[in-house]
Amino acid sequence: MLIVMQHAAAADEVQRVVDTIESLGYEARPMPGAQRTAVGLVGNDGRVDASRLAALPGVKEIIHVTQPYKQVSREWRDEPTVVRLADGLAVGGNDVVVMAGPCSVESESQLLTTARLVRDAGASVLRGGAFKPRSSPYSFQGLGIEGLKLLAKAREETGLLIVTEAIDTECIDAVADYADIIQIGARSMQNYSLLKRAGKINKPVLLKRGLAATINELLLSAEYILASGNEQIILCERGIRGFDNATRNVFDLAAIPVVHSLSHLPIIADPSHATGRRDKVIPMARAAVAAGADGIIVEVHPTPDTALSDGAQSLYPEQFEDLMRQARLIAEASDRAIAAPLPSQVTT
């Protein structure tokens, strides 16, 4: 941490900064400059409260040299985290994992039809919302436990693993009972009570980036899960808020290489929520794979025109097949491969 003094800061103001740093138990290193003095705080373990120093007289600004997170950092652990899902299927290794399915679980036939078609096209994880966070209280809020049971049934029939969202501490245990990956949605990225609970469960967690979250904040939220004991974290870029409504959000694909350089955690991308329109989903899904994503999560619906939510961004089955074909070639360009689905659990 670097405490930058004002141009006109007096010597005793600098001394007070030095004293405060030392009273906090760290070492202070003043650095006089041509225009101003800066004081380095040495030994920062990430627990220094900057506002204590920012408030001292003569202080111009505080510059953070050390990141506020620890265990998620690549400097804490250099080798990539590989989140093992089952039987060789893993996120964060060489394979790119494709998760696909409807926005919401609507009915058994809708879910099973979708599950079969995404599996046949090569997806290995089935997505589908049972508990839905909706911005309007009057929108369809999901099938709840009933939806979780349908997801489990689809897993049994198709061999696809299940990812589905836990929207609060009330439903997370039920979600953990049925799902293979517990999703924490963008709106919940800073729901710290939920993060702590997810950290106590021994299941992989898919943590989506909040609409206005910096990558640092995403990593700090992951730190909450890790600090509570769960290391199986998959991050997800799903679009951030921007000024142009030409697409629903701005798909910040550079977050993928940024996360890969700052953290050992894997990161996947969600082009469906990022763009909101199906004709943009396909090129952006390709781009995510090209950018080095460890996976993609895509909405597919057998008949998008009748979907109960987000129909406009769901791919038609043929479009998804086409995408899978292109994604394989693009993954190969970076010497990666699309993960193959696991076999079905039912003997046929």
Residues 92-151 interacting with a second copy (rule: CB under 8 A): 133-140
> What does the chain come to in residues?
348
- Whichever of 111 and 267 has its CB closer to a second copy, that residue is 267
Burial of 62 (0-12, 13-18, 19+ CB in 10 A): middle
Closest CB to a second copy among residues 79, 244: 244
Closest-CA residue to 33 (of 61, 64, 5) = 5
The footprint of a second copy on residues 292-331 (CB under 8 A) is 292, 304-314, 326, 329-330
Residue 190 within binding range of a second copy, rule CB under 8 A: yes
* Cβ distance to a second copy smaller for residue 39 or 89: 39
Q: Helix, strand, or coil here: 163?
A: strand
Phi-psi domain of 39 (left: phi exceeds 0; alpha: psi -120 through 50; beta: other): beta
In the complex, what is the shortest distance from the CB of residue 344 to a second copy, in angstroms, rounded to a whole number? 29
Output the DSSP codes for 279-299: HHHHHHHHHHHHTT-SEEEEE
Q: Residue 69, by phi and psi: left (phi above 0), alpha (psi -120 to 50) or beta?
A: beta
Ranges within 38-57 binding a second copy (CB under 8 A): 38, 40, 42-47, 49-52, 54-56
Judged by CB under 8 A, which of 15, 107, 216, 344 binds a second copy? 216
Q: Applying CB under 8 A, does 274 fall inside the site for a second copy?
A: yes
Q: Is 256 in the site for a second copy (CB under 8 A)?
A: yes
**Least distance to a second copy, CB of residue 239, Å:** 9
How far apart (Å, rounded) are the C-alpha atoms in residues 334 and 345?
Answer: 32
**Which of residues 12, 87, 170, 177 is near a second copy by CB under 8 A?**
170
For a second copy, which residue of 156, 283, 337, 343 counts as binding (CB under 8 A)?
Answer: 283
CA dist., res. 181 & res. 165, Å (int): 9
Among 90, 275, 302, 319, binds a second copy (CB under 8 A): 275
Cβ atoms of 199 and 229 closer than 8 Å: yes
The size of the interface with a second copy (CB under 8 A), counted in residues, is: 116
Q: CB–CB of 320/99 below 8 Å?
A: no
Can residue 173 be called a binding residue for a second copy (CB under 8 A)? no
Tokens of 230: 């769960």
Residue 161: CB atoms within 10 A of its CB come to 23
With contacts defined by CB under 8 A, name the span among 25-33, 82-90, 109-117, 230-238 that binds a second copy: 25-33
Q: Report the residue from 11, 279, 318, 345 that binds a second copy according to the rule CB under 8 A.
A: 279
Binding a second copy (rule: CB under 8 A), the pick from 291, 297, 298, 324 is 291
Closest CB to a second copy among 189 and 339?
A: 189
